[in-house]
Amino acid sequence: ARLHEPEPQIGSWLMSASPLVTEAMGCAGFDFLVVDMEHCPIDLPQALSLLQVLAGTSTPPVLRVPWNDAVVVKRVLDAGAQTIMFPFIQTVEEAQQAVASTRYPPQGIRGVAGMNRAGRFGTIDDYVHKAASELCVILQLETPSAVALLPDIAALEGVDAVFIGPADLSANMGLLGKINDAKVQEALSAGAKAARQ
């Protein structure tokens, strides 16, 4: 819902598995916090703990999974994650796979559990039919070839947002560590315009 608001959303990455740090960040007034399972030593039990902590604050979590892996996605969704960020999406097919891993059949391939935290342990009526409408899928594009496909990827049903990873994009442009290089900034700007369209 916040993606439809005209004001930009300001968030931060959580680089710690500490519940106390997470709670403090959740109380700091950010619009979102990224629980990062890709580049931080956060595993599923720790991610669950952080999701539980953030549920007691006004800050919604974005959970970045370590890879576009349907098994990992199923587990974090069952644990209650509602906004999933997928790293290193390279093709339209990979984008479709990411979305499919968040949807129950016949729209996708998410496995169906009889009861889980996401469905509030059976207390959300008809959770399996409501789940997709309450999820947010963010896809990361991190190479020039992926950014070139941004219009096709962003137009896919079930894709709510794209994130152009500036560090990996600069590295894949041959400009490792030079995020502020004019060529990288130009690619980011062009990607933002394409996403808005």
Q: Which residues are catalytic?
A: 39
C-alpha–C-alpha distance, residues 72 and 193, integer Å: 32
CA angle centred on 187, ends 185 and 192, rounded to 5°: 95
Name the CA radius of gyration of the chain, rounded.
17
Strands (E), the chain: 11-14, 32-36, 61-64, 83-86, 136-141, 161-164
Task: Give every CB contact of residue 111 below 8 A, 6+ residues apart in sequence.
Answer: 74
DSSP state, residue 96: H
| 110 Rama class: left (phi>0) / alpha (psi -120 to 50) / beta | beta
